[in-house]
Amino acid sequence: MITKIVEKAINEQIRKEEHSSRIYLSMASWAQVNGFQGAAEWLYAQTDEERMHELKLIHYLNDRGGNAHLADLEKPATKFKSLMDVFQQVLKHEEYISASINEVYAVSIKQNDYSTGNFLQWYITEQTEEESTVRTILDQIRLAGEEKGGLFHMDKELAAQAAKKRTSQLAAATTNAGI
């Protein structure tokens, strides 16, 4: 059985993961209509990944005898200055999510809920990877910006990364390891 305090913290994280999914969906739509097809594919794939993060939390909470709830979500931004702007916002958001996961972890340990702490280790590792990936993308966009056609190649690189994301999402869904 999970304590009410841990249940509340996980429900709040569920809201944040769902919100992340919507934020990236809005960015994906912007990228698609602004000619960044590869970035759009990357962001659409990220949207699905965030939904998987949300589902994983919902299943965990309900399996432990808690009750997962969905909450109201704010409208995500729809306008961006540039591809750089989009990925700067992605990084800022991921840093916020990392801090939030750490907070849920701290709450669970304070409540002597080591099962939840153990479960959250997956998210802690995932956040480190997500932040690192986005920092690399930002470095590449910076470099691409300095040469002609650079952004075109960067967009192709993002398409390749999106294809890899889709392959691992499919593998996770097939083995049911992701949820």
Minimum separation from the CB atom of position 93 to ligand OFO (A): 6
> Is there binding between residue 7 and ligand OFO (CB under 6 A)?
no
Q: Which is nearer to ligand OFO, 8 or 15 (CB)?
A: 15
Q: Quick one: how far is CA 33 from the chain centroid? A: 22
Between CA 165 and CA 143 the distance in angstroms is 23
Minimum separation from the CB atom of position 17 to ligand OFO (A): 5
Percentages (nearest 5) of helix, strand, coil residues in the chain? 80, 0, 20
Give the total of residues touching ligand OFO (CB under 6 A): 7
Minimum separation from the CB atom of position 173 to ligand OFO (A): 17
Q: Dump the DSSP string for 103-125.
A: HHHHHHHHTT-HHHHHHHHHHHH
> Is there binding between residue 50 and ligand OFO (CB under 6 A)?
yes
Q: Which is nearer to ligand OFO, 57 or 141 (CB)?
A: 57
> Is there binding between residue 18 and ligand OFO (CB under 6 A)?
no
Minimum separation from the CB atom of position 90 to ligand OFO (A): 8
Q: Which is nearer to ligand OFO, 126 or 157 (CB)?
A: 126
**Residues of 68-102 as b/e, b for ≥16 C-beta within 10 angstroms?**
beeeeeeeeeeebeebbebbbbbbebbeebbebbe
Q: What is the contact surface with ligand OFO in residues (CB under 6 A)?
A: 17, 20, 50, 53, 94, 97, 130
